[in-house]
Structure 1
Amino acid sequence: MRAPYASDPEKSRGRRTPEAESALRSAFQRDRDRIIHSSAFRRLKHKTQVFVEHEGDYFRTRLTHTLEVAQVARTIARALGLDFDLAEAVALAHDLGHTPFGHTGEDALDALMAPYGGFDHNAQAVRIVTRLERHYASFDGLNLTWEALEGIAKHNGPVVGPGRPPLPYALADYDAEHDLELGTHSGLEAQVAALSDDIAYNHHDLHDGLRAELFTLDGIAELPLIDGCVAEVDRLWPGLDSHRRRHEALRRFFGILVEDVVAETRARLAELEPRRVEDIRHAGHMMVRFSDSVWRDIQTIRRFLFERMYRAPRVVEMRAAVTGVVNDLFPLYMDDPRLLPERWQSDVAAAEGDTALARIVADYIAGMTDRFALQQHERLVGGTRPAVAVPR
């Protein structure tokens, strides 16, 4: 049963380019399906989550991470009486704007784009679904509903207002033409997607770190939340083999995070007593949250991962290497845009000035997969490709 404060596809603010409704799918279901069928979504298969995608078959990529986030979002949204199709759509789109090499690539591209309006992967996701996907005859982008675009743009909270940094050009450019009310919070479905992202990576970064042997299960068994999970597994199955022991402990940790978000959000909703989705947007704070105690414990776990995983010596070494790849490619394309593929040349021809050209180059590099960026670097610059882990 849909809660009164849930987003309702029958009451959607619609699409920027009007379309006939589907007889078989709701507006939010169509959003989800268009995202899945997009080129940017397919490229997530070969984009970094924590480890370079060719380093092992079992490490997460942006695609497997995205699917895990979508699964969590559906579970939480259903438990809260929300539109789980919209929650899933935002979850599936939330990482479309990521560069190759994860946040390392984003940091490098943001620095290069500083004179031209900066770079932000959430803003780039909006640019992808509104401009860069070019498959439909009647419009650029995917022509998603207003609610889906709002969720992609501000699932982490308002992006304009006192004390907030200037809008990245990709988001400012679109919002000037289509108001997404960037000063308010999103609906609950997008907030659920944001917390589902936190749950997924807190769980799988531990799992991938264990698989990469950057630490051991006994080494994390004293961390808050995880300690009780390991103790319960050892009590129920003494002598369990290490692979099953790890899985059983981490799936319990995963469950604790999901259940905590549901319980805390229900309590916040009971206090606010919202009657419509607009009450959520104007609540003044995020409604979907961890409890204070679990959030403190998560911060302790994140500090552990920062020291033992994201700043492991071989990871730091790789961070420098892949930053060099992006730093090399950007000026090459800026100096000679003819190096861009043929289908990008019409955009280059229409570009007026360095800023417009830089944005085209940023779009192209941001869309690269890890392997393609390395291949292009080898072809245009030379040298060998990096072959160890990169940080989130």
Structure 2
Amino acid sequence: MGYSDHDRARRVAEPPKSEMRTDFERDRARVVHSSALRRLGAKTQVLGPASDDFVRTRLTHTLEVAQVGRELGKALGCDPDVVDTACLAHDLGHPPFGHNGERSLAEIAREIGGFEGNAQTLRLLTRLEPKVTDEHGRSVGLNLTRASLDAATKYPWPAADAPESSPRKFGVYPDDLEMFGWLREGAPAGARCLEAEVMDLADDIAYSVHDVEDAIVSGRLSLAVLDHADARDAVIAQVHAWYGTHVSADELSAAMHRLPTVETWVRDVDGSRSGLAALKDMTSQLIGRFADAAITATRAVHGDGELTRYAARLVVPHETLAEILALKGLAATYVMAPREAEPLFRRQRELVAELVDVLGERAPVALEPPFAADWRAASDDAARLRVVVDQVASLTDVSAAEWHARLLSPRWAAR
């Protein structure tokens, strides 16, 4: 058990440090100090960062995932810094405008290997984020250890090998397969390490609970809707449309009857400090409920002691999965699905596509220096398009809008 020299290896060997930090503590520090993490503060989580002062951004969501994941991993015997690093890194590859922007880039990049936020995360960690170069002067990104990179890989397969359960999800582009092969040495094909499973569950827990909290505070949702059968049916339909049918309608219905029995459950929030405190207590209790269920179930199968890497699998009770999905369904039904028809969201997808077009036409001059260098080094049109997609994906919601206004303004176009 534990972690071997193989797990602590870096793609480019580095001299030992005199400071009293472990290899995995250094990994976490590199992600914390990365420009990609800072940019998450101006990227959409569910609601846009400018919508109000309360709403979560990708950065605040990421910090919450890291807190949940670190405690969950620690309870199972994982190295807390490996899990923390994976959680901090898990959304780094997401483009401006959240999944809305991801959808636009996926369509644009369809013929060059596609676009997926998780695959973009791996590309960023191992290529785009500047920290370490190899003997040929090529960037190897943050040069994290094998264990941390593997833990950050939520979908350990290329698009061509995606399983039926996740047909649109993948973790590596074709031109990053060499690095992917290195970090996956010794790993069972298609299997995630325990730390990646912990990261994924922490993401689902934070996502489900906090998106509902945001929806309640913004006035888009009252949990009193669960008193009504037609509302529960609508949530079930939305879960099956967005997340698949691996959890049945009966199981989701049972989950929506169980959740209101939680001692701290609040049906309505009046906006007062006491009301908001009650809501916060409910979110804390739900997080503990889900995490404790997974810890208990995993220990029941694997026993005590340190559980790491491929020595164990995370066990999440089916009832817990159903409750998490029910909460995700509430957010989807009352926040995410209604916004799909809003003109703003259509315009965001158009903005991303127009940015790719204009940057492709004006590259390399219009690109930032690192991406301009990548564009000049690209061997063909497909590689050059990938560079432009990398550039656009790196932008925040705010900078994407500013770049669009500058590059497509009449004054610029007339030059």
The question of a shared fold, defined as TM-score above 0.5 by the shorter chain, is answered with: yes
Distance 1:9 1:373, change over 3 A: farther
Distance 1:14 1:321, change over 3 A: same
Match of 2:317 in 1: 291
Select the residue among 322, 333, 345 that pairs with 1:307: 333
Match of 1:323 in 2: 349
Select the residue among 150, 169, 183 that pairs with 1:180: 183
Q: 1:360 & 1:98 partners in 2: Cα distance?
A: 15
Deviations, residues 312-351 of structure 1 (Å, cap 9, x unaligned): 2477433212111111111111122132234432222222
Determine if contact 2:129/2:142 at 8 Å carries over to the other structure: yes
Two-structure CA RMSD over aligned residues (Å): 2.9
Tell me the amino acid that sits aligned with residue 64 of structure 2.
Answer: E
Select the residue among 51, 68, 85 that pairs with 1:89: 85
Determine helix, strand or coil for the equivalent of 1:339.
coil
Tell me the amino acid that sits aligned with residue 198 of structure 1.
Answer: D
Q: 1:92 & 1:342 partners in 2: Cα distance?
A: 26
Tell me the amino acid that sits aligned with residue 359 of structure 1.
Answer: R
Q: 2:215 & 2:310 partners in 1: Cα distance?
A: 41
Identity of aligned residues (%): 31
Tell me the amino acid that sits aligned with residue 218 of structure 1.
Answer: A
1:278 Cα deviation (Å)? 3.9
Determine helix, strand or coil for the equivalent of 2:262.
helix
Match of 2:207 in 1: 201
Q: 2:308 & 2:262 partners in 1: Cα distance?
A: 38
| Match status 1:359 vs 2:355 | no
TM score, norm. by length of structure 1: 0.84
Structure 1 unaligned residues grouped into runs of 5+: 281-286, 384-392
Q: 1:268 & 1:290 partners in 2: Cα distance?
A: 11
Match of 1:264 in 2: 297
| Match status 1:210 vs 2:216 | yes
Determine if contact 1:220/1:226 at 8 Å carries over to the other structure: no
Q: 1:150 & 1:250 partners in 2: Cα distance?
A: 30
Aligned pairs for 1:38-187 within 5 A? 38-136=34-132, 139-153=139-153, 155-156=154-155, 161=161, 163=163, 170-177=172-179, 178-181=181-184, 183-187=189-193
Distance 1:168 1:293, change over 3 A: closer
1:290 Cα deviation (Å)? 2.4
Determine if contact 1:97/1:128 at 8 Å carries over to the other structure: yes
Distance 1:277 1:352, change over 3 A: closer
Aligned pairs for 1:266-285 within 5 A? 266-270=299-303, 277-280=309-312
Deviations, residues 88-131 of structure 1 (Å, cap 9, x unaligned): 01111111100011111111101100011101111111111111
Q: 1:275 & 1:250 partners in 2: Cα distance?
A: 28
Name which of structure 1's ranges 205-214 and 13-22 shifts more when overlaid on structure 2.
13-22
Select the residue among 255, 266, 269 that pairs with 2:288: 255
Distance 1:275 1:85, change over 3 A: closer
1:232 Cα deviation (Å)? 6.1
Determine if contact 2:156/2:171 at 8 Å carries over to the other structure: no
1:252 Cα deviation (Å)? 1.6
| Match status 1:336 vs 2:362 | yes
Deviations, residues 4-23 of structure 1 (Å, cap 9, x unaligned): 3x4x2655250011112334
Q: 2:195 & 2:311 partners in 1: Cα distance?
A: 14
Determine helix, strand or coil for the equivalent of 1:53.
coil
Q: 2:162 & 2:215 partners in 1: Cα distance?
A: 38
Query: Which one has more relative contact order, counting CA pairs under 8 Å at least 6 apart?
Result: 1
TM score, norm. by length of structure 2: 0.80
Tell me the amino acid that sits aligned with residue 373 of structure 1.
Answer: A
Match of 1:25 in 2: 21
Select the residue among 32, 38, 47 that pairs with 1:36: 32
Distance 1:89 1:326, change over 3 A: same
Tell me the amino acid that sits aligned with residue 146 of structure 2.
Answer: W
Determine if contact 2:375/2:387 at 8 Å carries over to the other structure: yes
Deviations, residues 345-377 of structure 1 (Å, cap 9, x unaligned): 222222222101111001000000010001112
Structure 2 unaligned residues grouped into runs of 5+: 229-255, 411-415
Q: 1:109 & 1:44 partners in 2: Cα distance?
A: 18
1:176 Cα deviation (Å)? 2.1
1:191 Cα deviation (Å)? 1.4
Aligned residues: 366
Match of 1:390 in 2: none
Determine if contact 1:225/1:253 at 8 Å carries over to the other structure: no
